[in-house]
Structure 1
Amino acid sequence: MPTRSRLIVVAAVAAAAIALAGCSAVAPTRPVAAEGTPAAAPTNHAKPQVISIGDSIAFGKGVRPDEAWPALIAAQHGWTLTNLAVSGSGFVKPGWNGDTYRQQVDTALGLHPDYILVVATRNDRDQNPALVTSSADELLGELRNAFPRARIIGITTVWGADQPPATVATVNGIVEKAVTDIGGTFLDIGYPLAGHPELVQADGIHPNAAGERLVAKTIEDRLAPLGVTS
């Protein structure tokens, strides 16, 4: 028959084993940050984040995604790009999926950009200028309120190989005012593709890969004096 002291030792060992098993059972499956301690940022936030809001040329219709001018700009500066551009879209004109810049901005509001590229577009050239103005003012104001520290960069319409109509200049002026009114930077890149059919696709509108490179270089040439760096 076991002595009293042996019974005490056995009981103590059993209690310790139960306690260890209990700790193992309730151990969390993933680390939990201490209260008030921010979780580590995702790896892709190690680089500055840039968002592109635009049309089919910003989207890169007919070329690879990495050949579109926003991707080339991002690569030049070492930024991580989220390209929200939709073919056919504008501040007022719906794109192929029914979205305007409104939906692109709604998506952008859920991100954390350091830079925001907003391109004026040929797609708004036949829209009511008053509607384009109200939409541009509203959307640029929302972006500034949501991201007071982000650098917002507006860019004139990227046109094709022919000469643009006067209505394009109207759209450019509307977007320029909306961008500068909220403290953004507006770049007038002119029409680098005009008179160069070899730089556009068969439709005469969308740049080919070489055309996208020229657009990106023209934008870079305007950014350089402004001290925009990686």
Structure 2
Amino acid sequence: MRTHRGGGHWWQIDWGGLPVWAVALSAVAIGGVLAGGAALRSSPASEVQYAPIVVFLGDSYTAGVGASDKALGWASLVGEAEGWRVRNLARGGTGYAARVTGEAAPAACGRDECPAFGEMAREGASLVPDIVIVSGGRNDIGQAPVDADVADFFDTLSAAYPGSRIYVTDVLWHDQAPDVVQELSRVVEADAQRVGAVWLDIGQPLAGDSGLLAPDGVHPNDAGHEAIAQAVIAALG
């Protein structure tokens, strides 16, 4: 507890994980005893700013792979800049259709199985987020056509998050995006807009600058994650 100038006291209450500040003001601090009695004049408490819950769905880029610390991944950086409570469900090796099972799964995402985006979406629905951000698709490149999987995902997403605002980004690449990546981005954009999601046209923030890549030459390093974060923040407006 700390003393407030004028004789009042502040204290903090943890309510659902959010700090709620309350204030008790003495009669002296608010001008003394009112005429006709000892009633105290009420003083409005400071407004508590609500921090939206935001679920991120995506692949290793969205999970923060390549950054020196998870807090420096682009999703975390965007969440910090926007004042969000981030719930990052992204998993390495995954996509609209791509998933990782068996012995490769622990290395890819730290779990026994790395689910595709649709399963991620169902997993996060219980969080009842205010916002959902989807970013991925690079792991679907080179597989069989995934147009139907993309459509199924957005149907699942729309049903699982009926009250959430949904944002979707381009399929990110580690250089200039080849035609197949751009084509998948257009498929994703069309299905996102079909269900009322907001398309974030962030382009390819890593294109043409190898200095934005981690030593593996694929994932963004700290500077690369910062570049993606700034592109997303700008697109959010």
The TM-score by the shorter chain falls in which range?
Answer: 0.7 to 0.9
Contact in 2 for aligned 1:137/1:178 (Cα 8 Å): yes
SS at match of 2:56: strand
Q: 1:126 to 1:110 in 2, by over 3 A?
A: same
SS of 1:82's equivalent in the other structure is strand
Question: Alignment partner of 2:55: what SS?
Answer: strand
**Superposition map of 1:1-230 within 5 A:** 42-44=16-18, 46-63=50-67, 64-95=69-100, 96=108, 97-129=113-145, 132-160=146-174, 162-224=175-237
- CA distance, structure 1, for counterparts of residue 147 and residue 125 of structure 2: 20
TM normalised by structure 2 equals: 0.72
Shift of 1:110: 1.9
- CA RMSD in angstroms comes to 1.9
Q: Note the residue ranges of structure 2 that are not aligned, 5 or more in a row.
A: 1-13, 20-49, 101-107
Q: Deviation at 1:120?
A: 3.2
Q: What is the percentage of aligned positions where both structures have the same residue? A: 31
**Where does the alignment leave 5 or more consecutive residues of structure 1 unmatched?**
1-39, 225-230
Kept in 2, the 8 Å contact 1:44–1:80? The answer is no
Kindly provide the amino acid, as one letter, of the partner of residue 67 in structure 1: L
Give TM-score scaled by structure 1 length. 0.74
Quick one: distance in 2 between partners of 1:103 and 1:145?
A: 13
Shift in Å, 1:44: 4.8
Higher strand share: 2
Give the structure with higher Rg (CA): 1
